[in-house]
Chains A and B, each alone.
Chain A
Amino acid sequence: MAEASTGVSGGRLRFILSEMKPRGRWLTPFNVISIPVIIVGLVILWFRFTQGLGSVTNLSQAFPWGFWIGFDVVTGVAFAGGAYVITFVVYVMKEEKYRPIVRVTVLNGFLAYLFYAGALVLDLGRPWHIVNPIIGNSFGYNSVLFLVAWHFLLYMIAEAIEFSPAVAEWLGARKARRLLHAMTLAAVIFGITLSMLHQSGLGALFLLAKAKIHPLWYTEFIPILFFVSSIFAGLSMIIFEGTISEKVLKEYLGDKAGGHDNLVFGLAKGAAIAMFVYYFFKLLVFLHEGHWSELDTPWGWWFLVEVLGLVLLPCILYAFGARHRSLGIIKVAAVLTLIGIVVNRLNISVIAFNWQAPVHYIPSWQEIVVTLMIIFLEIWVFRWVVTRMPVYPGTNNRPAPAIDSD
Chain B
Amino acid sequence: METYTYVNIFETKGLEYLLLICFLVLFIFFVRYLNAADKPS
Contacts and interface: CB of A to CB of B under 8 A. Distances in A.
Interface in B1-41: 10, 13, 15-16, 19-20, 23, 26-27, 30-31, 33-34, 36-37
Interface in A248-305: 265, 269, 272-273, 276-277, 280, 283-284, 287-288, 290
A118 to B, nearest CB: 37
B19 A280 contact: yes
Contacts of B16: 284, 287-288
B37 to A, nearest CB: 5
Chain A: number of interface residues, binned into ranges: 10 to 19
A269 B38 CA distance: 11
B19 A284 contact: yes
A287 to B, nearest CB: 5
B22 to A, nearest CB: 8
Contacts of A288: 13, 16
A325 interface: yes
B20 A319 contact: no
Given A290-B10, A324-B37, A319 B19 contact: no
A265 B37 CA distance: 9
A276 B19 contact: no
A343 interface: no
A329 to B, nearest CB: 13
B31 A323 contact: no
Contacts, number: 36
Contacts of A265: 37
Interface string A318-338: 010011110000000000000
Nearest to B27: A276
A34 to B, nearest CB: 38
Nearest to B18: A287
A319 B34 contact: yes
B36 A323 contact: yes
A287 B13 CA distance: 8
Contacts of B37: 265, 269, 322-325
Contacts of B19: 280, 283-284, 287
A277 to B, nearest CB: 8
A276 B30 contact: yes
A277 B31 CA distance: 11
A267 B25 CA distance: 23
Contacts of B23: 280, 284
A319 B30 contact: yes
Given A276-B27, A287-B15, A290-B10, A322 B20 contact: no
B19 to A, nearest CB: 6
A284 B10 CA distance: 13
A287 B14 CA distance: 10
Given A284-B20, A287-B16, A288-B16, A323 B33 contact: yes
B34 A273 contact: yes
Contacts of A323: 33-34, 36-37
Nearest to A321: B37
Contacts of B31: 273
Given A280-B19, A284-B20, A287-B15, A272 B10 contact: no
Contacts of B33: 319, 323
A253 to B, nearest CB: 26
Nearest to B16: A287
A272 B33 CA distance: 11
A272 B29 CA distance: 13
Contacts of A277: 27
Interface in A220-249: none
B11 to A, nearest CB: 10
A11 B26 CA distance: 61
Contacts of A283: 19
Nearest to A318: B34
Contacts of A324: 37
10 contacts: A273-B34, A277-B27, A284-B20, A290-B10, A319-B33, A322-B34, A322-B37, A323-B36, A323-B37, A325-B37
> Which are the 8 A-B pairs with shortest beta-carbon distances?
A280-B23, A323-B37, A287-B15, A269-B34, A287-B16, A276-B30, A284-B19, A322-B34
